[in-house]
């Protein structure tokens, strides 16, 4: 065999190996097509998609621009505000703090926050006690919900990003509880601010630092934070539709630069999709990520145990959980997020061993998260 033939054969084997590797990659072609269409028709400014399987490399795809003014393209490192997907990160921090005895999930929070010593009820009278961290984590604390009509001041405590977290929670403490703690599920971003402030007081560290210590550093996430650097420009701005065209929402937290002070614990983490996907992969592997334990199995179970049941599942600690009705086995975990024209969805399926993250800015478009969920639940790439 001459040298030319040897090179030719080697080239064929190389081409086949590359082809096989590409065929083995998880693909979410329907999701890609949906986002591509929305970017082209002006409904979405920019987006990131990351999909993965248990033992496969992450597959990343980017679309569009960071904002319509600068028109710089979204890339793998672009930070997006992930909205309420922040709650699962906060849940991981709290179970870690509970394990090391920094906090007690079942102690009334007036142990740390005296402003909650004598909570009142919206219907009149005093509540029997302050809520616990466990109740805050699963939205059963009685703290007011943004899914009900908020007063102007209630909205300010969770939407004024020039406040400190301490100032925000001091304001929330002056609001009456909607129900007795533990009695009713009511989805509450304000409640997550409260649990974040408890963690800060108990640990004597900012919640952003606690996020770094208990989640970002163990998973080697360098761009996941409540506070992007003020001189960082690789960040996607939230967008809305005005007169049929996208425009930047100036309330997007990072656009405040040095005036951005509030860590909205359950709603304002910034992360590129590839880093959020490492968190999702850790959940899939029941606490293990980056070749090390991030959560113990006991902590993972604590996080995924349902406290607010619904048909076929319910809400745990920062997670919507689907379970097998007969065995109680966790089938999937997920969460969606939205804040000032930035949207995110993170989902993990334990049956297919798939997970995915989508971040995007623009008009609220549920078809995107639906397409992601369809891919994660499927084992057939050709239909997705």
pLDDT, greater one: 351 or 23: 351
β 80-81/270-271 pair status: antiparallel
- CATH number for the domain whose boundaries are 27-82+234-383: 3.40.710.10
Residue 102 exposed, middle or buried by CB count within 10 Å (0-12, 13-18, 19+) = middle
pLDDT, greater one: 6 or 261: 261
The closest alpha carbon to 191, from 147, 227, 224, belongs to 147
Residue 76 CA from chain centroid, whole number: 17
% of the chain with per-residue pLDDT over 70: 92
Average pLDDT over residues 220-224: 98
Give yes or no for a contact between 361 and 238, defined as CB atoms under 8 angstroms apart: yes
Q: Residue 137 — left, alpha, or beta (φ > 0 → left; ψ -120 to 50 → alpha)? A: alpha
The class that CATH gives domain 89-207 is alpha beta
pLDDT on residue 13: 38
Query: What tens digit of pLDDT does each residue of 74-110 get?
Result: 999 999 999 999 999 999 999 999 999 999 999 999 9
Bridge partners for 120 per DSSP: 126
% of the chain with per-residue pLDDT over 90: 88
Query: What tens digit of pLDDT does each residue of 294-309 get?
Result: 999 999 999 999 999 9
pLDDT on residue 56: 87
Q: Return phi, psi of residue 374, to 5°.
A: -60, -40
The closest alpha carbon to 137, from 316, 333, 345, belongs to 316
pLDDT on residue 172: 98
pLDDT on residue 381: 57
Number of Cβ atoms within 10 Å of the Cβ of 2: 7
Query: What tens digit of pLDDT does each residue of 103-147 get?
Result: 999 999 999 999 999 999 998 999 999 999 999 999 999 999 999
pLDDT > 50? residue 273: yes
Query: What tens digit of pLDDT does each residue of 150-167 get?
Result: 999 999 999 999 999 999
pLDDT on residue 3: 44
pLDDT > 70? residue 41: yes
pLDDT on residue 312: 86
Give yes or no for a contact between 322 and 13, defined as CB atoms under 8 angstroms apart: no
Give yes or no for a contact between 322 and 332, defined as CB atoms under 8 angstroms apart: yes
**Residue 19's pLDDT band (cuts 50, 70, 90):** very low
121-151 CB burial, b ≥16 within 10 A, e <16: eeeeeebebbbbbbbbbbbbbbbbbbeeebe
pLDDT > 70? residue 345: yes
**Residue 25's pLDDT band (cuts 50, 70, 90):** low
pLDDT on residue 20: 36
Give yes or no for a contact between 207 and 165, defined as CB atoms under 8 angstroms apart: yes
**Residue 24's pLDDT band (cuts 50, 70, 90):** very low
Give yes or no for a contact between 113 and 193, defined as CB atoms under 8 angstroms apart: no
**Residue 18's pLDDT band (cuts 50, 70, 90):** very low
Give yes or no for a contact between 109 and 136, defined as CB atoms under 8 angstroms apart: yes
pLDDT on residue 75: 98
Query: What tens digit of pLDDT does each residue of 7-17 get?
Result: 444 443 333 33
Q: What is the mean pLDDT of the chain?
A: 92
Torsion angle of alpha carbons 242, 368, 264, 347, nearest 10°?
A: 180
Give yes or no for a contact between 81 and 159, defined as CB atoms under 8 angstroms apart: no
Q: Lowest mean pLDDT of 51-60, 126-135, 226-235, name the range.
A: 51-60
Q: At what angle do helices 189-203 and 165-173 cross, to 10 degrees?
A: 120
Distance from C-alpha of 372 to C-alpha of 276, rounded to nearest angstrom: 15
- The residues of the chain that CATH labels 3.40.710.10 are 27-82+234-383, 89-207
């Amino acid at each position: 065999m001459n040298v030319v033939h040897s090179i030719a054969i080697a080239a064929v084997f190389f081409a086949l190996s590359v082809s096989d590797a590409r065929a083995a990659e998880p693909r979410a072609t329907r999701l890609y097509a949906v986002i591509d269409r929305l970017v082209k028709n002006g409904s979405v400014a920019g987006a990131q998609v990351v999909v993965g399987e248990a033992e496969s490399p992450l597959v990343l795809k980017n679309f569009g621009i960071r904002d319509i003014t600068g028109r710089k393209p979204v890339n793998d490192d672009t930070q997006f505000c992930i909205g309420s997907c922040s709650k699962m990160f906060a849940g991981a921090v709290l179970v870690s703090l509970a394990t090391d005895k920094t906090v007690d999930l079942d102690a009334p929070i007036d142990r740390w926050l005296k402003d909650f010593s004598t909570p009142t009820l919206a219907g009149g009278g005093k509540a029997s006690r302050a809520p616990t961290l466990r109740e805050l984590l699963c939205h059963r604390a009685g703290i007011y919900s943004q899914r009900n009509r908020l007063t102007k001041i209630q909205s300010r405590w969770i939407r004024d990003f020039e406040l400190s977290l301490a100032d925000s929670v001091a304001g929330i403490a002056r609001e009456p509880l909607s129900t007795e703690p533990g009695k009713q599920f009511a989805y509450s971003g304000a409640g997550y601010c409260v649990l974040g402030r408890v963690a800060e007081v108990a640990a004597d560290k900012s919640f952003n630092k606690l996020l770094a210590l208990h989640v970002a550093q163990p998973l080697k996430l360098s761009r996941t934070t409540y506070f992007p650097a003020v001189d960082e420009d690789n960040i996607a701005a939230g967008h809305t539709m005005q007169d049929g065209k996208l425009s930047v929402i100036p309330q997007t937290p990072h656009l405040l630069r040095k005036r951005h002070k509030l860590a909205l614990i359950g709603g304002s983490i910034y992360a590129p999709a590839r880093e959020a996907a490492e968190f999702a992969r850790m959940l899939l592997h029941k606490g293990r990520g980056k070749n090390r334990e991030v959560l113990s199995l006991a902590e993972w179970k604590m996080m995924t145990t349902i406290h607010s049941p619904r048909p076929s599942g319910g809400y745990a600690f920062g997670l919507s959980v689907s379970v097998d009705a007969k065995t109680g086995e966790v089938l999937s975990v997920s969460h969606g997020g939205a804040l000032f024209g930035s949207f995110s969805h993170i989902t993990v399926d334990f049956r297919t061993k798939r997970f995915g993250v989508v971040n995007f800015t623009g008009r609220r478009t549920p078809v995107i998260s639906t397409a992601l969920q369809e891919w994660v639940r499927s084992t057939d790439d050709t239909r997705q």
